[in-house]
Amino acid sequence: MNARVGVYVCECGNNISDQVDIAALVPMLEGAPGVVKVMSHRLLCSKEGQEFLAEEVRKEGLTHLVVAACSPRQHLPTFMEVCKRGGLNPYLMQMANIREQCAWVTSDRHEATEKAARMIRAAIARVVRQAPLPEREVEANPDVIIIGGGLSGTVTASMLAGPERRVHVVDRNPTLAVALTSLEGVETHGGCEVEAVRGFFGNFEVELASKGSRQEVRVGAMVVCTGSRATTLQEMGYPGSEAPHVVVLPQDLEGLRPYLDALPSGQPKVMFVHCAGRERVGYCSGVCCLRSFKAMRWMVETAPNAQLSCLHQDICVPGRDGEREYQGILGIGARMTWGRLTALAQQGPQVTVSFRREDGSIGQDAADLVILVPATVPNHGARALIDIIGVEAGPAGFVEEAHPMLEPVSTSVKGIYVAGSASGPRDGRATSLLSLAAAAQIAAELRPGKTLRLEAQTSQVCEALCTGCRNCMTVCTYGAIEYDLVAQTCRVNETICRGCGNCVAACPSEAISVKGATYQQILQEIKEAVR
């Protein structure tokens, strides 16, 4: 079938026509290969303009459409929709941005007109080499697997489980909380670990292993809820930390009781040391100052005779409650000293605490009990899991978010989410909120009974050209490329591919191209632009 290309030039009110001579431009485009109609319009994005364009597509029997107007950022979806209304595959339309890239930035009217003509001819050359692309969908499994049965796993599961969605919760710990096991629609897998993951968003196969037995679970999405833990004395590495009167602040304050019971009578000195292990981990955990202040308040009630002191660095208590708690601690007369812990030593009944002040000088203090407020690190086994499931991790070993601000519960792998303190140190409130957020995101993106829309402009491998070097596999961040052992060539899984084009750049044999941006298309487009 011969191409019948229609070219429609938008004047954008006067935005384009002030700078581009439309009357001169139109004849410059007539006669370009395949072009059967060139026409200008005052404002194509207007309601009337859209109806006109859809009607033109139908009436003229166009096979390809070029819209010379504004930035596709603004109106690509508009004109793709117009194509559909006119009965044309929306990928057979190309926009030429003659407003932002021409009229608004080219001061000479004659030059601007010439430039617009080149841009439009380039778009024509590209679009005539375009094949229609189908809009594809895939069936999706609404079930979800949650890795980790702590607070974040429990909250996420309770929000997601229901009659239409089964939730699996996996934990290394053989016994899981009753809050989880009693939830309707939740299946728990205690004492299990994730061994392998295959598939993609909507259709994952997760292999679980427990002592001697294996099991496969099919789900549509995964949530990493592996949590965090306190650094250990050993990891902190302070000299003398094995001293008997040194303890790491426990999650449950009741764990301090034996130490309090062992305190000497009178007015024993109890010292809280902040930022224990901070230098080693390389970040401020952000939640410990407040935890420490709450523990100090508990201490005032539990051991009223104790003389409290606090060796701290910069106090980090963002938000409404933190500052009040901080002022409260100052109010009870705790002695506050700015310093970085350097060493501990048990000397007789007391522990000597050595520290460095901000000006570099060394200070010393002694206490009957030293409570180290520990930095927070990813939980045991998180690293191994991250490697198995293939999500990105930051330098500290926490799961990296897809975008630190805008996508705080998504990861680098579509369909694998993260909640709670698996992505960074969190307090209880932040953990719950992140878990609610992850559940909400999954509920919206993986709706029971709904199919998933797939990217139309995926990459494709030409098997005849592929040498099987597998460069493409190393640069694909989505894991969308597979190696066919029999054919010894690479193959794109079009369900996973997002059309980013990394693989195209990496292929030394020009065997890969993205649909809609093939070598031929881009080459011809450039040729027309610079001719």
Partner 1 sequence: MTRNGDILIIGAGIGGIQASHLLSKAGHQVHLVEKTAHIGGTSIKFEDVFPNLECATCMLSPLEQELLQDPNVHLLTLTEVAGLEGGPGDFTVRLRQRARYVNLENCIGCGACYDACPVSTINEFEEGLSQRKAICIPCAGTLPNVPRIDKEVCIRFKGQECVACQQACMFEAVEYGQEDRDIELKVGAVLVAVGSGTMDVRELPHLSYGVHPGVFTSLELERLNASNGPTEGKIQLRDGRAPNRVALVHCVGRRERTLCSGVCCRYLLKFRHYLRHKLPCAEVLEFHGDLCLPNKGDQRFLGEMAPDGEGLVRAEVVRIEVEGDYLKVIHRRDGREAIETVDMVVLSPALTPPKGATELARTLGVELADDGFFVVNGVASSRPGILILGGASGPKDIRETVVEALAAAGGACKAVMEGEDGK
471 φ, ψ (degrees, to nearest 5): -55, -40
CB of 261 to partner 1, least distance (A): 34
Indicate the residue among 93 and 461 with the shorter CB distance to partner 1. Answer: 93
Whole-angstrom Cα distance, residue 124 to residue 142? 43
Compare residues 430 and 522 and give the one whose CB is closer to partner 1. 430
Report the nearest approach of partner 1 to the CB of residue 202 (Å): 15
257 vs 357: CA distance, rounded Å = 31
CB of 407 to partner 1, least distance (A): 8
Task: State the nearest-atom distance from the C-beta of 162 to partner 1, in Å.
Answer: 9
3-state secondary structure 171-194: ECCCCCCHHHHCCCCEEEEECCEE
Residue closer to partner 1 by CB (options 259, 398) is 398
Tokens 């301090």 map to which residue? 256
481 CB-near residues (< 8 Å, 6+ apart)? 461, 472, 473, 490, 491, 492, 493, 503
Q: How far apart are CA 6 and CA 344, in angstroms?
A: 81
CA angle, residues 382, 388, 394, in degrees to nearest 5:
50
Least separation in angstroms between residue 448's CB and partner 1 is: 11
Nearest residue (CB) to partner 1, 154 versus 489: 154
Order the strands of the 144-147 sheet from edge to edge. Answer: 186-190, 167-171, 144-147, 221-224, 416-418
Tokens of 208: 């679980």
Number of other CB atoms surrounding residue 235 within 10 Å: 14
Task: Give the single-character DSSP code of 355.
Answer: E
Distance CA 413, CA 88 (A): 33
If the CB atoms of residues 327 and 347 are measured against partner 1, the closer one turns out to be 327
- C-beta closer to partner 1: residue 297 or 447: 447
CB of 228 to partner 1, least distance (A): 11
CB of 3 to partner 1, least distance (A): 30
Asked if 287 and 425 touch (Cβ cutoff 8 Å), the reply is: yes
Q: Which is nearer to partner 1, 85 or 447 (CB)?
A: 447
104 or 483: whose CB is closer to partner 1?
Answer: 104
Phi-psi region of 53 (alpha: psi -120 to 50; beta: other; left: phi over 0): alpha
* Cα-based distances in Å from 307 to 145, 273, 333, 335: 49, 14, 9, 9
Binding site for partner 1 (CB under 8 A): 12-15, 43, 45-47, 73-74, 77-78, 159, 282-287, 314-320, 322-324, 326-327, 358, 394, 396, 398, 404-406, 408-409, 424-425, 429-430, 432-434, 436-441, 443-445, 447
CB closer to partner 1 out of 30 and 314: 314
| Shortest distance, position 490 Cβ to partner 1, whole Å | 31
Torsions phi, psi for 305 (to 5 deg): -80, -20
Burial code (b: 16+ CB inside 10 Å, e: under 16) for 271-285 equals: bbbbbbbbeebeebb
What's the min distance (Å) between Cβ of 355 and partner 1? 16
Give the nearer residue to partner 1 in terms of CB position, either 117 or 276: 276
Supply the minimum distance, in Å, between the C-beta of residue 360 and partner 1.
11
The string of DSSP codes covering 422-465 is GGS---HHHHHHHHHHHHHHHHHHS-TTPPEE--SS-EEE-TTT
